[in-house]
Amino acid sequence: MVWRYHPVSREYELFSEGSGNVFGLELDGEGRLFSGTTDRRPAAGTTRARSIRRRAGCIDCAGRIRQIEEVLRKAPGNPYVGEALFQQRCAACHRLFFKGGFVGPDLTSYQRDHLGTLLTSILDPSAEIREGYASVEVETRGGRILAGFLTHREDRQTTPRGLDGQDQALPAAEVLAVRPTGRSLMPEGLLDGLSDQQLRDFFAYWRSSQPFSR
């Protein structure tokens, strides 16, 4: 199973093959995942994980891409408005024009002028995961499970980067296992709830070759 933060719903999502959060999972602000059915009170900063079923990827992805392409052809967007949408939905993890987080790759040099590739990456983020950003779970001998991707791994040290963008260097002797999840940390549904005009604004900023800030 794997958890990740969804910037639209502002909840942590727990993905598993099962149908529920049968282990009563909780995680804290440092990305430590707890399990159990004890009566202990959650530690300060603990966030309840929202348990949902694993998705089977983008449903009718090609149809959704055609729909969005048609919307974008009908009228121009406002990149200034689009920047605010990007900050709300993407900037917690990604940087664009020197603004944003460090969980995912910097998008400034990304192939943003090719709309089909761009839409596929957004609508079905697990279809093709950029090298170096494959999601893993790192299990420690102390019982912690850290979710993120590896920024460094060698004989003496393993360093996962969590969803908060922080690296945590672990001595090799402390690491029990490193397991790939086969999924992207980027959630599906980032375009959900956007009107046609908001989609135009969002992609006007996304596809721009220069920053637009007021």
CATH of residue 196's domain is 2.30.30.100
C-alpha to C-alpha distance for 77 and 136, rounded to whole angstroms: 37
Q: What residues are paired with 161 via a beta bridge? A: 149, 167
Residues 175, 193 within the same domain = yes
Place of tokens 């024009």: 97
C-alpha to C-alpha distance for 100 and 98, rounded to whole angstroms: 7
Residues 82, 135 within the same domain = yes
3-61 pLDDT tens trace: 444 544 544 444 443 333 333 344 444 444 443 333 333 344 433 333 333 344 566 78
Torsion, Cα 192 193 196 201, to 10 degrees, reads: -80
Cβ neighbours of residue 46 closer than 8 Å, sequence gap 6 or more: 26, 27, 28, 29, 34
Residues 74, 10 within the same domain = no
Q: Which of 138, 135, 33 is nearest to 93 (CA)?
A: 135
Residues 39, 143 within the same domain = no
Residues 47, 74 within the same domain = no
C-alpha to C-alpha distance for 37 and 122, rounded to whole angstroms: 36
What is the reported pLDDT for 46? Answer: 39
Total domain count for the chain?
Answer: 2
Residues 90, 182 within the same domain = yes
Domain endpoint, select from 53, 73, 96: 53
What is the reported pLDDT for 87? Answer: 92
Q: How many residues does the chain have?
A: 214
Residues 142, 47 within the same domain = no
CB 134, CB 151: distance < 8 Å: no
Strands 50-53 and 11-16: parallel
Domain that holds residue 14: 2-53
Residues 14, 66 within the same domain = no
Residues 69, 159 within the same domain = yes
Residues 45, 145 within the same domain = no
Q: Centre a 10 Å sphere on the Cβ of residue 168 and count the other Cβ atoms it contains.
A: 18
pLDDT mean for each 10 residues of the chain (214 residues):
47 41 40 39 39 49 91 95 93 89 85 84 83 85 89 89 86 92 82 96 91 69
H-assigned helices in the chain = 61-74, 79-89, 115-123, 196-206
C-alpha to C-alpha distance for 119 and 214, rounded to whole angstroms: 26
C-alpha to C-alpha distance for 13 and 48, rounded to whole angstroms: 9
Sign of the Cα torsion 25, 3, 17, 20 reads positive
Residues 26, 108 within the same domain = no
The pair phi, psi for residue 11, each rounded to 5°, is -130, 155
Residues 27, 66 within the same domain = no
What is the reported pLDDT for 189? Answer: 87
What is the reported pLDDT for 3? Answer: 46
